[in-house]
Amino acid sequence: MRADTVSRAVSAARRQFFNEGRPPQSLVAEPILRSWRRCADRGLDNQVLPSLVPLTAGELRQASERNERLRRLSRPEIESLYAEAMQTGCVVVLTDASGLILESRGHAAFASRAAQVALHPGVDWSETATGTNAVGTALLEGRPIAVHGGEHYLDPHGILSCSAAPIMDPFGHALGVLDLSGPAAVDHRHALGLVRLAAEQIEHRFFDDGFAELQVLRLGADRALLGTAREGVLVFDGERLVAANRHGLGLFGIDWSALGSRRVEELVARLPQEAGIARIEVTGGRVLFGRLDGAEAPSRRVAGGVALRRAPSNSPGRLPQFGELLLREEDERALSRAVKMTDAGVPVLIQGETGTGKEMAAREVHRRGPRAAGPFVAVNCAAIPETLIEAELFGYEEGAFTGARRHGRKGLLREADGGVLFLDEIGDMPLALQSRLLRVLQDREVLPLGAGRPVSVDFALVCATHRHLKALVESGAFRSDLYFRIAHYTIELPAVRDLPDRLATVRELWRRVAGDDRLALTAGCEERLAAYEWPGNFRQLVGVLRMLAALAEPGQPVGPDLLPEEVGASRGASDDGAPAVASSEPADLDAIELAAMRRALDAHGGNVSKAARALGINRSTLYRRLLSTH
Ligand SMILES: Nc1ncnc2c1ncn2[C@@H]1O[C@H](COP(=O)(O)OP(=O)(O)OP(=O)(O)O)[C@@H](O)[C@H]1O
């Protein structure tokens, strides 16, 4: 009903704007209208999907390499949004600073529909290229934005509903955009809040390294915020403010243009002199809680920050662990043996359902083995288009085929020389390529396309699959000789539902994810998490825990009412009597979002502009959300 009203308003707005050439006052939010105007001024035709040529796989890889830090720091949030995307039929998208899609993961059914409008890696989603859309418009507006259905400039994009948040570095430059996109017909009202929180988490991670020589002041109106992504962070080089996160700037009502010019004394009366958390007087006589880490406070660094956020890695009574992986003891032993196997040149095959940690295990085997100083080259055999996989793996010489790069390409097998080659989803490798791979493994030589002579290679091989490889061999879909070549030593990673003590697993993962003793799960919430079957295994479980940590109110235990519906319903037992949210509080994400908006409004005396600013959304969005809930 509400969605109908909104989409009727948007249809009327489109009619007025595109057919009658007049501005649709108040029928769409201001940023959308601004964006429509920009597109119209550029002469973009709203009825035609422009032909967007995606980057080649090689060019995309180069773009990914250029954005390696962004991708690395975004990985945990992409994992948790991926879990969300799988549950809500969406895809999660990461772009670079220009709007080029670097990664897109999520629900296969929607991903293929999205691909019809070129929402896939290698395509430019800047506003200039694709008209009003969440990614491009968030980049231009410099803030999170949702663009639903007909709010997109191009008619064919009406099938999409997208929420995006720019990821800003500590100096105020956009590094990329995180986006959740799904079908327009489905109401994704909590998506914007989730991407905004995820972007904040990523931005916060940029302060974990790179500022060792400087003074890093962490501030919050509530001491429970310190150490979380919601703390304000200000970095001083001597007296001068040189970097900050948006919460830090927001506390003083300034923006990134203040970097380089503001001095310490213009912001705080006095930096803390003692280790640990102190009360700090800031401009205007306000008192905040703060902590100083940094060059001139080495003892403070030890006593203060890092320990608050990172739980000690050697706490007593820990579960068996291989690197970051939580495992059964027998799996830990099996993985230690795998390190010896790769050392001895024996290929290792890791089997397990999706999200059981196959890639993490392979990386750890590389990290612990004698080839740790060499490269780790991961190839997802299911993700590379069949037509490209040969060139990608084996490389080619200059001029080998039309469209080949000028100087040829080395190929991933040769890139892995001296290190570990990880062939993920090996069960999906086309049969013809299986023969070529087998030859490489036998001869330890690669023959690039168009090359006269083979080139010798030396890598350790780790393969992984979620498929039952033996059954594929029996059905003829996988070569038996290749199977016997790669499956000398096989490890089967367990599904979460098969772990011996799921409660202990949930607790240990929560300890890592929350990283803070002040964020606790209620016993009822823990029980439901332990009782659920977790079809997406650790990936899904970690994703849900990250979502809970992001939604948690500091100082309040997290109850089962914040759990996704299917997880919350996993057990009929009553809660432990210590619910995170009082029983009068709402029970789903939309309602939680609404409660957060109401609280923000209360906190700002009903001033919508201030409340919207505090929530990181624009005023008209806040109005729209509040009005749509009546
Ligand atoms: N055993 C584990 N202990 C802790 N976290 C885990 C474990 N396994 C997986 N994870 C979490 O799940 C995420 C996904 O892991 P990974 O990519 O290694 O799984 P996978 O089995 O290779 O999945 P897929 O088959 O879908 O590619 C990791 O980033 C991590 O957060």
CATH number, residue 14:
3.30.450.40
Cα of 502 from ligand 1 centre, angstroms: 16
Q: Exposed (0-12), middle (13-18) or buried (19+): which is 311, by Cβ within 10 Å?
A: middle
Which whole number is the average pLDDT over 81-89? 84
148 and 228: one domain?
A: no
363 lines ligand 1 (CB under 6 A): no
332 lines ligand 1 (CB under 6 A): no
338 and 471: one domain?
A: yes
Q: Which residues pair with 463 in a beta bridge?
A: 349, 423
Q: 3-state class of 588 per DSSP? A: coil
428 lines ligand 1 (CB under 6 A): no
Task: Give the pTM.
Answer: 0.50
159 and 256: one domain?
A: no
Cα of 540 from ligand 1 centre, angstroms: 9
Note down the domain range covering 535.
Answer: 517-628
Nearest CA to ligand 1 atom 12: 539
Which whole number is the average pLDDT over 230-245? 88
Residue 605 lies in a domain: yes
475 and 576: one domain?
A: no
Which whole number is the average pLDDT over 445-469? 87
231 and 252: one domain?
A: yes
Residue 48 lies in a domain: yes
The pair of structure tokens assigned to 428 is 């999906």
359 lines ligand 1 (CB under 6 A): yes
Residue 438 lies in a domain: yes
Q: Give the confidence band of 100 by pLDDT, cuts at 50, 70, 90.
A: very high
482 and 521: one domain?
A: no
164 and 219: one domain?
A: no
Which whole number is the average pLDDT over 522-542? 91
Q: Which residues pair with 465 in a beta bridge?
A: 351
Q: 3-state class of 382 per DSSP? A: coil
291 and 156: one domain?
A: no
Q: Which residue has the higher pLDDT, 550 or 166?
A: 166
Q: Which residue has the higher pLDDT, 137 or 21?
A: 137
Cα of 438 from ligand 1 centre, angstroms: 28
Q: Give the confidence band of 626 by pLDDT, cuts at 50, 70, 90.
A: low
- Number of structural domains, the chain? 4
- Packing angle between helix 523-531 and helix 537-551, nearest 10 degrees? 160
Which whole number is the average pLDDT over 20-40? 90
Cα of 443 from ligand 1 centre, angstroms: 33
Among 29-33, 195-199, 393-397, 616-620, name the one with the lowest average pLDDT: 616-620
Residue 241 lies in a domain: yes
C-alpha count within 13 angstroms, C-beta hemisphere, residue 118: 20
pLDDT 10s digits, 111-120: 888 888 888 8
The DSSP string of 59-101 is HHHHHHHHTHHHHHHHHHHHHHHHHHHHHHT-EEEEEETTSBE
- Return the residue matching tokens 């080949």: 404
Q: Name the residue among 340, 441, 426 with its Cα closest to residue 381.
A: 426
451 and 326: one domain?
A: yes
Residue 502 lies in a domain: no
Residue 615 pLDDT more than 80?
Answer: no
355 lines ligand 1 (CB under 6 A): yes
ipTM of the complex: 0.98
Cα of 93 from ligand 1 centre, angstroms: 19
